[in-house]
Every structure is written in structure tokens, then in C-alpha cells.
Structure 1
């Protein structure tokens, strides 16, 4: 099970090498997030499941690259580097908020363009891909101060980063690109993934309703279950152990791919 990750890739970070892992989980961060968001989850799942955190362009060690303001383009870049890493282990995808959309589009590309279907998709903190809200704010068009205020209101971003002007010059461009990607996303008709979905949501998340979450079942030919956790939009940061237990239970027993 030697992996090309031993020499590194642009898009993936492996926090806890697990050469004997029975499955692999690719994790997609929220808007403005980075691969390191999933370090704690990786620790909980090792050594049975190897976690690969996706590092989007424009942040941290990819800061020299321009942020990508399109969900479909982000997914295509993820898939391009993921296909050579595939082996006989079941592959699952986990995405939170914007990451749920990137994970979903990644699943579509893997299955219908590369013949490599994912074994399972975990979509967290995001309404279904076909769900739109009329008159929704265009946060990516706000000035820098407006973008900072939005990040403060939503939570999930270290306040020390938002208070440092020099850091904001580095942080805000990829954040703006991420918001552009989410706010301009439109679901494209076409074949849906066949893998089962598990949808996670916080019971106090202002960004989703249960009706919007339930519509994820329209986007898979497999089973779709919804799991509700205490908390707001970033409940995932406070519920790592519970989420790891859920993921482990769902991945247990998956058969190796042919």
C-alpha cells in the first residue's frame, strides 16, 4: 500500500500515516479552511482509516497560487491528483459546508468520468446541491471589512487572524474566492453518484434547514441518512470524537474495490 503521498502532492496532506489502513477518507474543508482542519479527525480514525486532507489553492503552503472561485474547477483539480493515488481500499469523501459541494462534485467525476466510484459520501453543514435561496447575499462582493465581519459572525476563524492586518492580506483573497465558488455554484444536470450518503447537520445551524438537508437524498442512487448533532454551523469542530465514531461505523465492513 505504498502511496505517492510519500513524496507529497499539491492538493493532499496526510497527517497520520496508516500503512495498514483498511479504508481511506478524503476530507474537504469549508470556505476559508485548510487541510489542517481535519488533523484531529485523522488522529481519531488512525490507524484503521487513512485521512487525506485537501489543501485548496491559495492558502498556507499553496499561498503563491491563485484561489479558485468555481466549485466544478476545484473538484476537477482534486480528481486529477486523486486518481493516481487510488488503490484497492474503499474510498470515502467527507466535506463540510463548501467542502460538501466539492466532495459531491468529486464523487460525480470519479464515478462517471473515471469509472472509480466512491464507497461513501459524508456531506456536512450544507444544504443539498440543487437547493438555492432567492435573494441570498453575495458575500464575495463585499469589501474587506464586510468579509471580516461575515467571518466573525459565522465563527470557525481564529479571532487573532482577523485582528492582524498583515495576515488578512494573505487570508482574504482565498476566502473571497471560496465564497465566490459557493455563491455562484449551480447544480448541473447529469448522472448522480451511486454511493450512499450520510448527511451531518448542527441543530442550531443558521445556514441550513432540515428540509434543505433532506434533499441530499435526491442526489444519490444509494441510501441517504441524516445525522443531527448539537451545535451551530461549525459543530464539527466540537464533535470530533462523535463524528469519528460515526464515520468508523459507516466505513466498517466496506469491501475492497475490484
Structure 2
């Protein structure tokens, strides 16, 4: 069993795969309900990093450089069909670095990269560091900046102790992740942002366009940093339709492409 990836049941024969990368401190639960809202042609694979949910007892990674080789080793066994990446916040940066590592290894890359609530990787981190703060200050700063921690977790010492190691490690990863210049990805990129997200600006999302040789699309929608979790969010349906359309277009182009020498 590959503990790095959780696949939804019943779609192992689906022609497409969509790997989902959660926000800092998050795991597969961040995408609860997505499987019911994604087309039957797509099998979802939830990326499960060490230190959370089913891997709670494992040491979380706090370095992108150390994480990516292990993650891509796990992905390598599951890229035997067309696939795409979707990442939210830190998950977007991890998905981007995983796509670059696949290219470095000469392996197939994603057909498309969907990113949400994440400023472009070549831009400097725009916020004051908080990974070194003591626990109560750290949680307070995370809550003020992102508003992502449920109240029952903040008030319950046992729940806090379960959340803190992975969350602090992920925040450390964000704050210490250095960008290495490289060629743009061949796959297209779709960037999503919340209109009320004060942590990720529209201009910083727009800079993702330099990271692709393919098409770039940006979509700004109502909501804060965690806009996909809003009840009215149609993001899973939108991604599903766009991915199916992208794959259909690519297959049509390959079918129409003349054979070499003709």
C-alpha cells in the first residue's frame, strides 16, 4: 500500500487521474466531498504527507528539498495514464515542485496544473516569519492570517498537540523554500484566487503565467483564502470540466497530427 496517496474507491479504471495537494497542516479531509462532484472519467488521488491523519505518527517534513524526492518516488508508480495536479496554498507549491522533479527525471508530467491561493513561486515570501513563535503565538498568528483553525482545536489542548507538529513543519517549509530558476513547464496552468483573500494578491497569482509554455488562465472568485471550502464553491465541478476538455483537446490534436515523413 502506498501511504503517500489515497485513492477513492470504484474508479481504478478511470482514464484520467487528478492528484490533490492540501494546504499547510491539511490532509485528505480538506477535499471531503470532491469525489461526488468530479466526473466519472477522473480518479482522485489524495496526497497524504507524513504527520497528519493516517500518517499522524510519522515525522513531518519541514524542507521542500527533502520532501519532493520522496513524494515523487511515490507518484512514479501512478502516472501510467494522463494526470493533473491540483494544489491549494502550500499544496500548490508542492505540486509545482513535484512537476519540476518529474521533468528532471525524464518522467511524464501533468497534463495541467491547477493552483489555488498561492503566490507565484519566483516571488519572495511576502509575510513576516512565524514558524519560530511559541505555540500560542504561532496559533494566534496562523488564525489571524488565514482563519483556518477550527475553534474547538484552538481551545482543546489535546487536539492542538495533534495539529501543531505538521502545521509548524509546513509553515517552516513555506518560509524556507527557495526558488530555483528553471524552464517553464510544458503543461498549462490555471490559477484560482479568492477576492477577499488578503494573504495572496491577484497580481501575485498572475505571475504564475511565466511558469508555463502552455495556456494560462486566472479565475478570481468570491471568498477568502479557503474559498474552495465555501458551500457555494463550484471549484471541483469547474476543474473536472476543464480537465476533461483539456484532455479531449490534446487527444484531438494528437489524432490530427501528421505522421513523421508524410
Q: TM-score, normalised by structure 1?
A: 0.90
**Aligned CA distance change for structure 1 residues 20 and 84 (closer, same or farther; 3 Å):** closer
Which residue of 2 is the match for residue 72 of structure 1? 65
**Conserved? CA contact 1:31–1:98, under 8 Å:** yes
Following TM superposition, by how much is the alpha carbon of 1:151 offset from its aligned partner in structure 2, in angstroms? 3.3
Which residue of 2 is the match for residue 28 of structure 1? 21
Q: What does the per-residue CA deviation read over 1:22-58, in whole Å, with 9 as the maximum and x for residues that have no partner? A: 2110000100111221131222115221111111111
Q: Is it true that 1:17 corresponds to 2:10 in the alignment?
A: yes
**Aligned CA distance change for structure 1 residues 65 and 228 (closer, same or farther; 3 Å):** same
**How large is the Cα RMSD of the aligned pairs?**
1.8
Which residue of 1 is the match for residue 136 of structure 2? 145
Pick the aligned partner of 1:248 from 229, 233, 240.
240
Which residue of 1 is the match for residue 182 of structure 2? 190
Q: What does the per-residue CA deviation read over 1:152-204, in whole Å, with 9 as the maximum and x for residues that have no partner? A: 32223222122111121221011100000001111112233110000000001
Which residue of 2 is the match for residue 209 of structure 1? 201
**Structure exhibiting the larger radius of gyration computed from Cα positions:** 2
Which residue of 2 is the match for residue 4 of structure 1? none
**Aligned CA distance change for structure 1 residues 239 and 184 (closer, same or farther; 3 Å):** farther
**Aligned CA distance change for structure 1 residues 241 and 212 (closer, same or farther; 3 Å):** closer
User: Which runs of no fewer than 5 residues in structure 2 stay unpaired?
Assistant: 255-262
**Conserved? CA contact 1:72–1:102, under 8 Å:** no
**Aligned CA distance change for structure 1 residues 11 and 198 (closer, same or farther; 3 Å):** same
1:17 and 1:150 map into 2 onto residues whose CA distance is 41
Which residue of 2 is the match for residue 56 of structure 1? 49
**Conserved? CA contact 1:70–1:184, under 8 Å:** yes
SS at match of 1:115: coil
Following TM superposition, by how much is the alpha carbon of 1:240 offset from its aligned partner in structure 2, in angstroms? 7.0
Q: Is it true that 1:104 corresponds to 2:96 in the alignment?
A: yes
**Conserved? CA contact 1:71–1:101, under 8 Å:** no
2:91 and 2:125 map into 1 onto residues whose CA distance is 19
Paired residues in the alignment total 248
1:239 and 1:227 map into 2 onto residues whose CA distance is 18
1:118 and 1:60 map into 2 onto residues whose CA distance is 26
1:109 and 1:193 map into 2 onto residues whose CA distance is 11
**Conserved? CA contact 1:29–1:96, under 8 Å:** yes
Which residue of 1 is the match for residue 169 of structure 2? 177
1:229 and 1:46 map into 2 onto residues whose CA distance is 22
Which residue of 1 is the match for residue 85 of structure 2? 93
SS at match of 2:85: strand
Which residue of 2 is the match for residue 5 of structure 1? none
